[in-house]
Each structure stands twice: as C-alpha cells, then as structure tokens.
Homo-oligomer: A and B are copies of this chain.
Amino acid sequence: MNKKFHFAVFLPQYENLEYWKSQIIGIEKAAIEFSKFGIVLDYFFYDFNVVSFKEAVKKVLEFDCDGLLFAPIFYQESVRFLAEYEKKDIPVVMIDSNISNNDEHAYVGQDAFQSGYLAGRLISFAVKNERQILIFKITREIESTSVYLQRIDGFYSFFKDHEELTNFKFSEITIKDSGIDQLNLEMFAGINSVFVPNSRAYIVARFLEQNNIKGVRIIGYDLLKENIEYLNKGVIDFLINQRPEEQGYMGINHLYKKLVLQETVVNTHYIPLEIILKENYFPARKG
C-alpha cells in the first residue's frame, strides 16, 4: 500500500553516447537504491534534433508525475518548455546544463562558466613566450547551447581578469559535425594550444597525430574512450571531467529527498571541476 512516486526522466537518447549512458547508469543506480520507497521512473528520450525534442516535449507535458529530471540541451526550446511546465507546479531538477535564471528549478552539474575559466588558467601556464591559442568549435545543432557558450565566455574571462598575461593571442574556428575531414593543416599554423569546449578534443588530437604535429597543448572535456586514448598517448594534455554518473545519481537523489523524505534540499549542486591528466587517470577510478 506504499505510495508510488513517478519521476519523468527527459533526456537525449544515449545509445553510442558514453556521456549520456553514464548519466543513465547513475540514474538507475539511484532508482534501484530508492525503489523500496516507491520510486518509479518513466523515460522520455529524444534524438539530437529540435523536431524530436519538440515531439518529446508534448508527451512530457501530458504525462502526470511527481517530479521531473530534465537535460535542457536545446536552449530556446527548453526555456519555452519550462515556462509551460511551470503551470503544472511539479519540482524540476536539471542536469548537465543550467538554463534557469532564477532559483526556481534545481540544478545538478558543473558551473560551465567556471569550467571555461579553469581551462583558461590551465592553458596559461607557459607564460614566458607568446602563445597562439585556438578555440576549436566542432558543433552539431546541439552545441549551440548555453553550456558551450558559457565555457568559451569563461575561458576568455580568465585572460581578461589577468591583464599581466599579455602574450596570449586568440583565434576561433568552427566546423560543423564531427568529421575529421574538415580539418586542415593551415588551421594549426603557429598554434601552441587548442581549447575544445566540448567532448570532441579527440578529433583535433587524431588530426594532429595523423599529421605528426607535436607540441600543441590540447584541453577538452569528458572522459570518452577516444579522449582517454589520446590522453594516454600524450596528445591531449587535460580533460575536465563532468562526472556524468554522479550527475544522474544526484538528480534522482534530489527528487527523492524533496518528494519522498520531504527534506529541504539545496537547489544548486555543483559537480567539482575535476582535472584529469595522463598521470592521474586511473581506469578503475570508481573503486
């Protein structure tokens, strides 16, 4: 006769996407742990395009539940969805990206601006010589999100805040989709460091390796298998880990505490900005 708590989980499709798969692993870990308290998860997945997202929005709006876990990948559409969803007066926790300007919704994820700021600091270490820094944007539709832009914003802000670092010059390149065939040697002429503000640092690393270009520092995000491969080869220098599994777990944990235990829960749970180098990456880190 236990009461059931239905949580809607509204996320991108995770097949072949390690990052989102890890989020789901964390979510399911929490679901198993709290299942004896009547928690039931209902999944709403969308493909990485706005059409699919909008179709899923309709279903989520019609679905009757107690709480919502939501990854607001498409900025404009997500803002509109949340405005509509607020009428339902159901607690919402966002993971991965925070698009809320107020404190109305909970958030579990990194401070994207600060993570870009940290990346700026990591790139700034070799301060004696002039440095040419390339911000390499490899985008799908999805990457025109606030996280992506906030990271770049944070990156530049680090150098604005440190006026003594006069010897850094910046340029940007944007290519569409994930194709390594769109890269060319000219892009890297004179470049000392590359900042890739999403999980695709391995694309740059692979190109540099194939063309035997050495001594370029690369910083990127997420412990994808392909990124780790180039980290271990010494081609990628730094990866900032977002701990997706922990995000998923904490997202469900937040709804559980708020709705089942009726505890007062802090609304923003920042995931630490974890710096991974070849020398502190351990495959079995989860222990």
Contact = CB atoms under 8 A, between A and B. Distances in A.
Contact of A126 (B121, B128, B279): B128
Interface stretch (A139-147, A172-180, A265-273): A265-273
Contacts of A275: 275, 277, 280
A130 B17 CA distance: 43
A128 B125 contact: no
A49 to B, nearest CB: 34
Interface in A82-136: 114, 117-118, 121-122, 125-129
Interface residues of A, number: 25
Contact of A277 (B121, B128, B279): B121
Interface in A174-195: none
A269 B282 CA distance: 12
Interface string A8-42: 00000000000000000000000000000000000
Interface in A256-287: 266, 269-270, 272-275, 277-280, 282, 285, 287
A282 B266 CA distance: 16
B125 A279 contact: no
B114 A279 contact: yes
A118 B280 contact: yes
Contacts of A127: 126
Interface in A155-176: 158
Contact of A269 (B121, B122, B125, B287): B287
Contact of A280 (B126, B273, B282, B285): B273
A230 to B, nearest CB: 16
A32 B165 CA distance: 50
A118 B279 contact: yes
Nearest to A118: B279
Given A125-B125, A126-B127, A128-B126, A272 B279 contact: no
A125 B128 CA distance: 11
A255 to B, nearest CB: 16
A285 B271 CA distance: 8
Nearest to A119: B279
Nearest to A122: B277
A107 to B, nearest CB: 12
Given A125-B126, A126-B127, A128-B128, A118 B277 contact: yes
Max chain B CB contacts within 10 Å: which of A114, A128, A158?
A128
- Give me the 8 closest cross-chain CB pairs, A-B, nearest first: A273-B280, A125-B125, A118-B279, A275-B275, A126-B126, A121-B279, A128-B129, A118-B280
14 contacts: A121-B278, A121-B279, A125-B126, A126-B126, A126-B127, A266-B287, A270-B287, A272-B280, A272-B282, A273-B279, A273-B280, A274-B274, A275-B275, A275-B280
